[in-house]
Amino acid sequence: MDKVAIDLLIEAEWVIPVQPSGVVLEHHAVAVDQGRIVAILPSTDARARYAAREIISRPGHALIPGLVNIHCHSAMVLMRGLADDLPLMSWLQEHIWPTEAKFVGAEMVADGTLIAAAELIRGGVTCVNEMYFFPEVAAATLKRVGLRAAVGLTVIEFPSAWASHADEYIDKGLALADELKHETMLRACWAPHAPYTVSDASFEKIRMYSDQLDLPVHVHVHETAFEVEDALRQHKERPFSRLKRLGLVNRNLIAVHMTQLTESEIAACAEAGVSIAHCPESNLKLASGFAPIEALRLAGANIALGTDGAASNNDLDLIGEMKTAAQLAKAVAKDAAALDAAAALHMATLGGARALGWDERIGSIEVGKDADLTTIALDEFDTLPVYHPISQVVYASNRRDVRDVWVRGERKLDGGRLTGFDTEQLAATARSWGARMRRKD
């Protein structure tokens, strides 16, 4: 029988499809053609069945779905380490917002997003949910490098270099959403900053347009105890209750942080189909609080994993976030069995895809899905021996172990080397922005 011609065959010692949960396929291959997965089968059978134009063999490696970073402010890589060891509001009001007022513009967003895209890809990320100013610039940059993305349509009541008032933010967002509706690798996502910076009137418009266009709404909610206490003082209403009153608590809501939740709020998230964007390292660094992730998971809420921006993390390492998320969930739940390795990997892949409405296309290794794939080396002394590959990926590997990344079958990382990026130029750009921001005063 003649072999079937395909574009790519990827062989790995362990294929971890994520769906079904906890499954590990040893010595299997994934066949890819025209950017999609066409078969998953034992490597010996794959060689007999397919004539691949390219064969990548990775013994000692795990092949996983590409990671999905559900919450990121990409351009803020240029503020990495600018203001550390501060509580959230001091960090924002005294350092980040003043710096943004001086420097945010199309040039900064283009340069920062390009650097972030390289960092994300090198860490195994194939899809990012982006929230920042000048989203049309971020979209163009992400499209050029071929990173899949949901691009946030930022809304805030404050004037910025991008828009002068809330209605202008919304109008510009609508125009960009219209531009992106025919893109295959990009989609729009409403991104109101937070309940304490967005008015009821703006939220009502966002809800209306979210319903009409079926777009997610990506918003910081219940990030700190102070946020909740301040809302109660000013408005006699918790922020989540306010969003519920305004009709935003539904399957389109991606609620970021959520460190302050009551049992009824946890139940409401699960019942309404809300997705939780969990950013454990940023929450820890800013002492924002502890999201009750295991309680949310047991209630049935969809949970996804994000890094937040590099100004508060200070990296875009989603593999590191998996380990932190799993360990933190165990401590918060006081249960060593809470959020096991398979659940943590699900959060970083299929959970993120589901939050964005892309779970039919990405997030797991299944026939018919796009070939967004990542290999992780588990063959060095510091990741051996391998008893349980999923646990080893989550608890023992790190982003430097990522060897290959494909987005829709297109190679973005080749044996640990970025393709299509001038890394020396990226470093020079970062240094240049650092020098400019040091002189801000």
Q: How far apart are CA 340 and CA 48, in angstroms?
A: 37
Amino acid at 374: T
User: Residue 440 — pLDDT band, cuts 50, 70, 90?
Assistant: low
**Continuous segment of H or E residues that includes residue 267:** helix 263-272
Residue 41 above 70 pLDDT? yes
Q: How far apart are CA 102 and CA 33, in angstroms?
A: 47
Residue 441 above 80 pLDDT? no
* Measured CA distances, 263 to 259, 292, 298, 299 (Å): 12, 10, 12, 10
Q: How far apart are CA 8 and CA 52, in angstroms?
A: 5
374-396 mean pLDDT: 98
pLDDT tens figures, 58-95: 999 999 999 999 999 999 999 999 999 998 889 989 99
Q: What is the pTM of this model?
A: 0.97
What are the structural domains, with CATH classification, of the chain?
A: 4-65+368-408 (2.30.40.10), 67-355 (3.20.20.140)
Closest CA to 430 of 114, 37, 5, 126: 114
156-173 mean pLDDT: 97
User: What sign results for the dihedral spanned by CA atoms 296, 301, 305, 309?
Assistant: negative
Q: How far apart are CA 234 and CA 221, in angstroms?
A: 16
pLDDT tens figures, 94-140: 999 999 999 999 999 999 999 999 999 999 999 999 999 999 999 99
